[in-house]
Chains A and B, each alone.
Chain A
Amino acid sequence: MSELTLVQAVNRGLAEAMRADPDVLVLGEDVGVNGGVFRATDGLLKEFGADRVLDTPLSETGIVGSAIGMALYGLKPVAEIQFLDFIYPAFDQIVSELAKMRYRSGGQYPCHVVVRAPYGGGIKGGLYHSQSTEAYFCHTAGLKVVVPSTPADAKGLLLSAIADEDPVIFLEPKRIYRSVTGEVPEGATRVPFGQARSVRSGTDVSLFAYGAMIPVVTEAATALEAEGISAEVLDLRTLVPLDEEAVLRSVGRTGRAVVVHEAARFCGFGAELSALLAEKAFYSLKAPIARVTGYDTPFPYALENVYLPSVERVVAAARETVRAS
């Protein structure tokens, strides 16, 4: 065990995967000499050389398109997109190609690429260094979508992503890259996909979140406790595949649900979670499902603290669900 920040855990995961398997390589903008703009790939060029750490020209479609070709050839590329906000030039490659390669070839061409991207707000990044657009990828059949919230999960889920057989969109909560530290197991300790993590248990209301919203929601649960409301916090960890059983079990116990994410509300991941609860947990619900999310505006610069879900907004929403019944 060692105490690491989340970004250090990502770095550790990459290094261990590359040591264990010579087919693993990383590519992206500024990932080599510079070690990545967030230092997620720091030291990799020195240890593994330029054949396995490729500083690429500035083209996201070039990065993901060539990663697909490498994967088809038999390598295990981990592509870094510098910010999730810059992924759209590669959207065609991800949605039209990567996600569909296995399916459209009748299983002849599996295509395992991991695409890592820092996502989310709270760093004064404005419109183009802040967005949380995980829903686009969750909506596309054939992609797995992973969002860690702790250093241990960042490494463990990344090792699972690199060992997986399917394409993985790996979204890193950059707001808590360095503000969250935690114990991270040494060695190849993988965290499996499709298993939500219980952050704390409670009896009155379930708070569902992932990534950078976990610290916010956890703090809200503590505040609610002071008011006599017992809140359960579930970290979804992987949005695809989703641990539906854990979500339904939790609401089966509490009868109330608050869904929290940074992304805009309309057609956000919370809409899917709300639909799931309405379809499969309707008779357990004691109150309407609440969503605390980013607003349906572009991501603002000066007003990001108004836009982003806060502890107060989560507390207010949870309180409301308890008052409702």
Chain B
Amino acid sequence: MATSQARSSPGPDGAEGLSGERLVGAYRTMVLARTLDERCLALQRQGRIGFYAPHAGQEATLVGSALALEPDDWVFPAYRELAVALVRGVPLQAIIDQLFGNADDLCRGRQMPNHFAFRDQRFVSASSPIGTQITQAVGAGIAAKLRKAPIATITYFGDGATSSNDFHAGLNFAGVYRAPTVFLCQNNEWAISLPREQQTKSATLAMKAEAYGFPGVVVDGNDLRAVHAAVRRARARAVAGEGPTLIEAQVYRLGPHSTSDDPRRYRPDAQVDAARQRDPVHRLRAELGTAGLLDDAADAKIAEEARAALTAAIAHAEAAAPVEPLSLFDDVFARRTPRLDAERAEAAQHLAEAKRP
């Protein structure tokens, strides 16, 4: 059960591989995601949103993996996976509303930007503690297996999360119960300021799967089709009852950890410049050009459509009503307790007094 290197050449599931229009569609989503990233970094600098965690450099992994899933599969994300939500059909407006935390936000303004939840697309609520989604994805996978549902669960996390308690507990449980779970580690080389080499002395992150009794594969995360093929294979294994797979997608975090981070403090510009040569969006653009699937005019149109869609969504989000203050007390429990009712009345009175001239 040695760690293997996934390739982008069509495997046994080649018929399901990405080609033609699906590939152009994937590129369109990647361009939208990259444009969103750039706009949101600017929005945060302008004080229009409070925070943002960029995903630039990880688009091929995000989009390629999401395209390998089925609608009934469950996604347990970290906080850099909005492109996965886009692929699963979450409207751009719903994503932007969450970043603004307005009254239209499906999460009711409860969380920082990037901590999404989209129930209709089986995109489970994200949190900030690292790795906690991993055991949850395994639990949902065990539940699906007990119910004999032909689905997989997939969980996303970074290289830093491979040091977390829940990574080891989750992989161990998945191995023991042969959970239909795909572990997608986006190794973007940096856990804020800690480089991958200092996170673990394991030669690869994928090899950690071997200790838990199932395969781990390394894939070039800048290669959309390679990621898609690897996730497709892992999903097929999961649904066939063959158990979990750990996929290490090797990418590079081109931007800061978040808008609160200055990566110049800990990594050389030359490293970032080198990584830019492997930019997954540019790479797919070049491939599509070579294959005759996309010309400059069509590319310019895709870029313009992304800009226009974002401009409209941001304008709509900024015009939306703010979150209703007394909604603070909702959803703590299924029904408010008498104590929460009393606190709500206290807050209502305070707000009414504050409004008086």
Contacts and interface: CB of A to CB of B under 8 A. Distances in A.
Judge: A and B partners, yes or no.
yes
A69 B169 contact: no
Contacts of B176: 56-57
B136 A103 contact: no
A128 B206 CA distance: 36
11 contacts: A66-B139, A69-B139, A71-B139, A72-B140, A96-B132, A104-B115, A106-B107, A107-B108, A109-B125, A142-B333, A144-B333
Contact of B117 (A67, A106, A144, A165): A106
Contacts of B129: 92, 96-97
Given A51-B146, A61-B165, A72-B140, A103 B331 contact: yes
Interface of A: 25, 51, 54, 56-57, 59, 61-62, 64-75, 77, 89, 92-93, 96-97, 100-110, 141-142, 144, 164-166, 194, 240-242, 244
B144 A73 contact: yes
Contacts of B144: 73
A56 B170 CA distance: 12
Interface of B: 74, 76, 105-108, 110-111, 115, 117-119, 124-125, 127, 129, 132, 134-144, 146-147, 153, 165-166, 168-170, 172-173, 176-177, 330-334, 337-339
A41 B338 CA distance: 34
B116 to A, nearest CB: 9
Given A66-B142, A73-B144, A108 B136 contact: no
A104 B135 contact: no
Given A57-B172, A65-B134, A69-B136, A166 B334 contact: yes
A75 B339 CA distance: 29
Contacts of A109: 117, 119, 124-125
Nearest to A64: B135
A57 B172 CA distance: 8
Contacts of A144: 333
Q: Which of A103, A105, A142, A241 has the most CB of B within 10 A?
A: A105
Contact of A96 (B118, B127, B153, B172): B127
Given A72-B140, A93-B132, A101 B125 contact: yes
Contacts of B111: 104
| Chain A interface main SS type | mixed
Contact of A105 (B117, B141, B169): B117
B334 A61 contact: no
A97 B115 CA distance: 13
A120 B286 CA distance: 66
B105 to A, nearest CB: 7
B153 to A, nearest CB: 7
Contact of A70 (B132, B139, B330): B139
Given A69-B139, A100-B127, A62 B334 contact: no
Contacts of B140: 69-70, 72-73
Contacts of A70: 139-140, 142-143
A142 B329 CA distance: 11
Contacts of B106: 105-106, 108
B339 A65 contact: no
A249 to B, nearest CB: 14
B164 to A, nearest CB: 9
Given A57-B173, A65-B135, 10 more contacts: A51-B146, A59-B168, A59-B173, A61-B166, A72-B140, A96-B129, A105-B106, A106-B110, A108-B107, A110-B334
